Amino acid sequence: MSYTTTLMSPNLWRIEDGMVSCYLVAGSNQAILIDAGVSGGDLLGAAQAITDKPITLVCTHADHDHVMSAPQFGEVWLHPAEYERFLQQKIDPVPMRPLWDGDIIDLGGRSLTVIHIPGHTPGSIALLDGEARFLLTGDSVAAHNIYMFGSGRCMPAYTASMERLVSMSSRFDILHPAHGAPAVPPDILPELMDASRRLLAGELEGLPPPREGMPCKLYMTLRAGFLY
């Protein structure tokens, strides 16, 4: 498995694993890799080719396409609400370390703040670099179809999470999602918030899903969609 690596901004790299984007953030003392991809390839080797700093794995959530190379890293940091989901994936066991809302990950010269944004999954998180003014959003925010059907999905919780991110939007200039366009402006947040509210109120028309047999409908916004 080969990976495509792109420098997004100083000391922030995107590593493409099929349709999933992982992100490597490096400080002066250590680096973190956000999400572990879907292919199960040598993701650690790809990250070590970018930086010589020790690398810690952080997962925004524990859906299978974000954890498949996790055993290579020795341990994984994620919100405890994702532990059960992580253990259900078909990978070798790996120790889990908790990340809570408001935790700060110090990389040396830069830090990332954990923001708990449940909805897509119970323990979904975003990671904020307040100095570089970017937000890593996992699957919860994207100019792409967002999965909101199946175990652990909760649209009212998602709406509340979008309301929270909208209230914080003065703190970042760009969003880096795990799917779709790798750089999205923050003005997508009120779009997703309003669309999720309208969906819950029965005001959005449900369209056929993109693949036959999916147990959901597609509810479109201007730049994204909810599979719900």
Which residue in 78, 225, 101 sits closest to 161, CA to CA? 101
pLDDT in tens, 3-14: 999 999 999 999
Alpha-carbon distances, residue 26 vs 46, 66, 68, 116 (angstroms): 14, 20, 22, 22
Give alpha helix (H) positions in 83-187.
83-87, 155-167
Using alpha carbons, select from 82, 3, 97, 10 the residue that is nearest to residue 44: 3
Q: Yes or no: say if 172 and 186 are a contact pair by the CB < 8 Å rule.
A: yes
> CA-CA-CA-CA torsion for 68, 74, 77, 81, nearest 10 degrees?
60
At 2 the pLDDT is 83
> Which DSSP state fits 207?
B
Check residue 217 and give its pLDDT: 97
End-to-end alpha-carbon separation of the chain, Å? 32
Distance CA 214, CA 207 (A): 12
CB 22 within 8 A of CB 43: yes
Cβ 223 vs Cβ 143: under 8 Å: yes
Q: Which helix (H) or strand (E) holds 193?
A: helix 188-200
Architecture of domain 4-141+156-186: 4-Layer Sandwich (3.60)
Cα(220)–Cα(211) distance, rounded to whole angstroms? 15
Spell out, as residue ranges, where the chain has pLDDT lower than 70.
1
CB 108 within 8 A of CB 128: no
